[in-house]
């Protein structure tokens, strides 16, 4: 028969065996989690590396287009300056004579219209006088 110390030792051995089995199950599950994490990281790496390559290519193309836009902007600015200078030159060379011609033609039209008004007024007065005399 078993003594009390032997029974206690047997109970401790059984509990230790159960503990070892539980720890083995935990380690197996932990190994599966680590394996799944490794697959996830590998999948992310496989998809991220080509995506980063595409992003780099896109940034390179955008930088090239921005360089072209900068050149176009510089050309437009140059053209604006040239148009401004041309406008100033036109105003300086032709603006003054054109203004003088416009003022002269306005003066001639005004004088002609005043003269025709005076002629009309004179004729109307003469007709009124003649009609009074004829009565």
Model pLDDT, residue 31: 95
Separation of alpha carbons 29 and 36, rounded Å: 11
pLDDT band for position 133 (cuts 50, 70, 90): confident
pTM score of the predicted model: 0.40
Q: What is the pLDDT of residues 27-80, one digit of tens each?
A: 999 999 999 999 999 988 888 888 888 889 999 999 999 999 998 998 888 898
Q: What is the pLDDT of residues 107-119, one digit of tens each?
A: 887 777 777 777 7
Longest dimension (CA), the chain: 175
Separation of alpha carbons 10 and 16, rounded Å: 10
Q: Is the pLDDT of residue 94 over 70?
A: no
Q: If you compute the radius of gyration of the chain from its CA atoms, what whole number of angstroms results?
A: 54
């Amino acid at each position: 028969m078993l003594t009390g110390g032997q029974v206690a030792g047997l109970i401790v051995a059984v509990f230790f065996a159960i503990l070892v089995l539980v720890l083995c199950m935990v380690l197996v599950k932990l190994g599966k989690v680590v394996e799944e994490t490794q697959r996830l990281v590998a999948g992310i790496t496989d998809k991220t590396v080509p995506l980063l390559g595409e992003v780099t290519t896109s940034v390179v193309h955008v930088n090239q287009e921005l360089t072209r836009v900068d050149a176009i902007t510089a050309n437009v600015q140059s053209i604006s300056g040239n148009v401004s200078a041309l406008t100033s030159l036109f105003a300086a060379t032709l603006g003054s004579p054109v203004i003088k011609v416009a003022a002269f033609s306005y003066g001639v039209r005004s004088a002609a219209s005043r003269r025709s008004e005076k002629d009309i007024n004179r004729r109307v007065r003469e007709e009124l006088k003649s009609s009074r005399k004829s009565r």
